Amino acid sequence: MKTLAKPDIARRNALAIRIQSAREDLDVAIAEYNATVETAFAYAQTTADVYNGLIEEAKEWADSIAGQIGEYIQERSERWQEGERGQAYANWLTEYEEVSFDTADIETPDPLEWDGDDAASALEGLPEDPQ
């Protein structure tokens, strides 16, 4: 073969057009995906913020109850505190002091990216004959 035949050139050119079109579709799909993820993440972040606010309220409530239990214990005699009932209250206090609530810590997802080469141009740039 001395040069590409006209059908081979035509096929190459048709493939290049289809590849370019598919690349443009891929770019659009990636952009739409990223926009959808961004919107979904914004909603997730908003709901996480609400949840975390409620967690903070729960922590404050537990701390307040712990304070009230601690005050109640302190108002009692040392004998009462060392007794069975005092120990039960001390354990109750410990439960409120040591309760742990995890907040929702979500991270922004990375956008989908694809930086592939320009396959259509590479295909079209192939020589038609030995130069």
In whole angstroms, what is the distance from residue 41 CA to residue 55 CA? 20
What integer pLDDT is reported at residue 131 of this predicted model?
80
Give which of 107, 103, 104 is closest to 37, Cα–Cα.
107
Model confidence pLDDT, tens digit, residues 103-118: 999 999 999 998 888 8
What integer pLDDT is reported at residue 129 of this predicted model?
87
What integer pLDDT is reported at residue 117 of this predicted model?
87
Model confidence at 1, pLDDT cuts 50, 70, 90, reads confident
**DSSP assigned state of 125:** T
Model confidence pLDDT, tens digit, residues 29-76: 999 999 999 999 999 999 999 999 999 999 999 999 999 999 999 999
One DSSP character per residue, 43-92 reads: HHHHHHHHHHHHHHHHHHHHHHHHHHHHHHHHTS-HHHHHSHHHHHHHHH
